[in-house]
Structure 1
Amino acid sequence: MNKKLMVRLAVLFAFVVAISAAVIYFTVDIRTLEYLTMFEPRCILLALGCLTVGLLFDALRLITLAQVTDERLTFKQIVNVVLSNYFLALVTPGASGGAIAQVMFMRKAGVPVAKSTVVVLVRTVMSIIFLILLVPVVLHSDKDIVNWMPASVLTVLSVLFISLPVIVISLLQTRYPEKLIFFFTRKCSYTTRRNCYIWYEEFKTAVNVMGKRPWMMLRAFIESGLSLLFIYATVPSYFTGMNIDFDLVQVMGRMVLLNLVLYFSPTPGGSGVAEGGFLVLFSNILPNGVEGIMAVLWRFTAEYLPFLLGAVVTIRAFGSDVLNMASLKSKTTAGKQHAMNKETNGAVSADEDKA
């Protein structure tokens, strides 16, 4: 197997084991064994069932988004796209490889790079928008959060989160985003400035695609939400296995908050941040001694198991040199996107002429 991939996997394995061991070590106590003896193995099947349904809805969402761009993909091709995202997201800094993996598999299925890039970006944007829209519901339904946050602050935050997607879409119809990008990147290198403008144009194209077929996009949005909620449901599934009393709405709400943060985590797959955030959010819900075990069970089920499946399909499709291929594909995709957007991106052109 490729040495670079072996080293990356070894480092990731050591990091995950270290994080998991630390989480369990610092939370275990005398009552941990008592709760483990109460553990019902059937809850594992429930958790795996929730994960499977979540991944299926994710696959259906990608099929719908491909249809929006007039492309047709088989279910098997879509499953490969979904699983490959988990694999390369965990072995690359900041989960940057996840998007590249999806583009690689869609390109292998015959979808042009430009279209596959838009589909992948829309997929991510949909997930983030869904979580953002749920934040006001979570803030108003979680009694513990309401108790320490004034009502006026809750109202302001709720209005902000609900209005944020509308504000972003409205700004995209103006030249202000381009001016802001130019202002904040004026002292950066040419490559950094170009990449920022390319990302902006890709995002703008994705939003335009979402507006062309609203009913299909609504369907994809619903599939996106169901996918996320079923994957998050792996956590309460394990709670039932230890006969822990909990509020399902509260648990799901806190999973929404945690996973929204993970979208912006700098670590591969959110490792470390996820476990720490889980302990912070669920320490007052779970009995002492089981928080760490629950965090590790959640991460293994919702992240590391799909990662292993993704490793199998990705290495089988592209070989052990997949990391080098992903790096090359990233540069090639950026170049093609830059060429495609050059005529419409007047700000970039003007900036290049100055350079």
Structure 2
Amino acid sequence: MTDNIDTSYQPTTSARRLTLFSLLFILLTAAGLYAVYDQFAERSISFDARLIAPQTLVAIGALLLVYFISDGLRLHFTLRALGHCLSFPTIFRLVFINLFFSNVTPMATGGGFAQIWYLNRHGVPVGRATAATTIRTVLAVLFIFSLTPVFLLTMDAFDGQTITGDLGVALAIFILLYLGFFIVLLFRTRWLIGPLSGLLRTLNRWHIIGDTRHQLWQFKARREMLRFSRSFGDYLRGKPLFVVLSILFTALFLLSLFSFPALLIYSLDYDVDYLMSLGLLVVTTFIMYFSPTPGASGISEGVFGSFFSGILSGNHLILVIVSWRLITIYLGMIIGLFVLQRELIKTRRNPG
């Protein structure tokens, strides 16, 4: 490949916007927790020391390591299949940056821009970085979207749930649109060049971008879209070992993510059905993909509370929800914020 590194590429989310989204994330999370507290937890909550027992913390720590490591390795092997090899420290810093951005921006859009910016800074061309992050997302989507109908149709826990009735048609449409977009993005990338060029022309006509920038962006948009199209073909033609490992580590990442509620519930001495807990969280995650709120805040807590209220007593429901989000989201976001600050400082010191 002869792709050049575009050092001018920058993430588009401003500090003010990130702050606003962060505050919105906190407010919506609080609203979601209150809704669960009021509707499903019988207005009851109490701390249980069994969640911080040594054996529980060791088990959570071990699962958390699997979660973070498999998240990094699924991107690592996707990049390897595309012919790029970054150091493991570089890859794992991106894991946390992505956790921060994807959970403070609606529909995880900022997460994608931040990953592309970061990879570009470390020598991966924009088109290839876009391909790598998109392929990683598509692999996870395929797993989740394939498993969700299976669990919805086979699990007794969903009998009588609104999601399998009134919202069934809407969810089917969302699935088709979501998968349709990715199919076009991966297999018919050129189809998107026309609409994207039209959007840029409209921005220029409305004087949102000037003539010089319009011409530059038109060139870059076409170039990166074509690079992306070639990159996905390169992934499929990549070394089979790397392709298989990227898929296997995606599966391991999702399995570890979906296992946290079962571990928390088991630590509280409930007789938990692991497969049921796994299925409930798969469907919860599926719904979170369509949430317009930052990091699915508010919606994730509400859906989780609705699904798991039949398993947990009222005083434990909020406790498990907060613990689940703390382990899988909040902790990574906090680490990601510090990692991002360090990367931005490095960028200012060495902008080239």
TM-score normalised to the size of structure 2? 0.72
1:211 aligns to what? Answer: 236
Alignment of 1:239-258 (within 5 A): 239-258=265-284
- Show the counterpart of 2:92: 79
Match of 1:88 among 97, 101, 114: 101
Instruction: Determine helix, strand or coil for the equivalent of 1:133.
Output: helix
Corresponding position of 2:5: none
Q: Is 1:36 the counterpart of 2:62 in the alignment?
A: no
The answer on whether the counterparts of 2:284 and 2:303 sit within 8 Å (CA) in structure 1 is: yes
Deviation at 1:196, TM superposition (A): 11
Deviation at 1:311, TM superposition (A): 0.6
> Could you tell me how far apart the structure 1 residues matched to 2:225 and 2:255 are?
29
Alignment check: 8 A CA contact 1:23 1:292 kept: no
Structure 2 vs 1, CA of residues 241 and 40 (structure 1 numbering), >3 Å: closer, same or farther? farther
Unaligned stretches of 5+ in structure 1?
323-355
Letter in 1 for 2:251: G
1:52 aligns with 2:65: yes
Supply the distance in 2 between the matched residues of 1:266 and 1:145 (Cα, whole angstroms): 24
Q: Which residue of 2 aligns with 1:11?
A: 23
TM-score by length of 1: 0.71
Aligned residue number for residue 22 of structure 1: 34
Distance in 1 (alpha carbons) for counterparts of 2:94 and 2:253? 15
3-state secondary structure, aligned to 2:48: helix
Partner of residue 213, structure 2: none
Q: Quick one: distance in 1 between partners of 2:231 and 2:302? A: 33
Give yes or no for contact 1:40–1:242 (8 Å, CA) kept in 2: no
Q: Is the 8 A contact 1:48 1:301 kept in 2?
A: no
In the TM superposition, what whole-angstrom CA distance separates every residue of 1:105-131 from its partner, at most 9, and x where no partner exists? 212221122211111111111110111
Shift of 1:246: 1.8
Task: Give 3-state SS (helix, strand or coil) of 1:268's partner.
Answer: coil
The residue that corresponds to 2:9 in the other structure is: none
The two structures, once aligned, show a CA RMSD in angstroms of 4.4
Counterpart in the other structure of 1:316: 342
Unaligned runs of 5+ in 2: 1-13, 210-217
Q: How much has 1:168 moved relative to structure 2?
A: 7.0
Change in 2 beyond 3 A, CA 1:40/1:28 = same
Match of 1:107?
A: 120
Q: Deviations over 1:16-65 (max 9, x none)?
A: 663365256425448644x7365553324322322221110111111111
Question: 2:83 maps to which residue?
Answer: 70
Tell whether the 8 Å contact from 1:238 to 1:294 is kept in structure 2 after alignment: yes
Aligned counterparts, 1:145-294, within 5 A? 145=158, 169=183, 204-205=229-230, 207-213=232-238, 215=240, 216-294=242-320
Preserved CA contact (<8 Å) 1:181 1:197: no
Q: CA offsets, 1:260-318, max 9 Å, x none?
A: 22223211111111111111221222223322222121111111100001011110111
Distance 1:206 1:254 in 2: 35
Deviation of residue 147 (structure 1)? 6.9
- Worse-superposed segment, 169-178 or 52-61: 169-178
Residue 120 (structure 1) aligned with residue 118 (structure 2): no
Matches of 1:118 and 1:179 in 2, distance apart?
Answer: 16
Q: One-letter code of the match for 2:276?
A: Q
Structure 2 distance, partners of 1:175, 1:113, is 15
Q: Deviations over 1:217-255 (max 9, x none)?
A: 232111111111102211111101211222111111111
How many positions carry a matched residue from both structures?
Answer: 316
Letter in 2 for 1:224: T
